[in-house]
A = this chain, B = another copy of it.
Amino acid sequence: MGEVRVQAEAFDAGAELNRFSQTQDGAGAVVSFTGVVRDVAGGLEAMEIEHYPGMTEKAIAGIVEEAQGRWPLTGALVIHRHGRLEPGAQIMMVATASAHRVAAFEAAEFLMDYLKSRAPFWKKELTREGAGWVAAVEADEDALKRW
């Protein structure tokens, strides 16, 4: 019911959404989220995403299982890339499906909030001026209190 993929390769969000939707019997609502590399300050050459092989898959599977316990989902999908990504590239996506829209929306937001702060990924920004690790944002940690 839950599918987790951690990969260096690009993915096709639209194709993944269609494939996911087609397997969700009884779902009336499908929600997707796609995260994209943004060049916030200007001058970003690439984002490098490091992760903890082995733990990453387990941590995400645990978050997906938690979501499935909280909401009556027909399924959930998480794809997260690692390695070097250029501005505009898709970093990750989440899809959730449920009989009703509120459950699908809430579960997708829950997955995103937990992936931000509880899945072992670290982002490094490579700019013309040098490289720097992206600091965790307090608002992302605070977002977990909602659930």
Binding site for B on A (CB under 8 A): 12-18, 21, 24, 26-38, 90, 99, 101, 104-105, 108-109, 112
Query: In the bound complex, how far is the Cα of B21 from the Cα of A1, in angstroms?
Result: 27
Q: Which B residues touch A18, using CB under 8 A?
A: 12-14
CB distance from A102 to the nearest CB of B (A): 8
Q: Which B residues touch A35, using CB under 8 A?
A: 28-29, 101
Partner of A33, one of B16, B24, B105, B109: B105
Report the copy number of this chain in the oligomer.
Answer: 2
Chain A interface, >50% SS class: mixed
> A17-B32, A32-B17, A105-B105 are contacts. A99–B12 as well, Cβ < 8 Å?
no
Subset of 9 A-B contacts with CB under 8 Å: A14-B18, A17-B32, A28-B35, A28-B38, A29-B34, A31-B31, A31-B33, A33-B105, A105-B105
CB distance from A34 to the nearest CB of B (A): 4
Contact B36–A33 (Cβ < 8 Å): no
Query: In the bound complex, how far is the Cα of B35 from the Cα of A30, in angstroms?
Result: 7
CB distance from A125 to the nearest CB of B (A): 13
CB distance from A96 to the nearest CB of B (A): 10
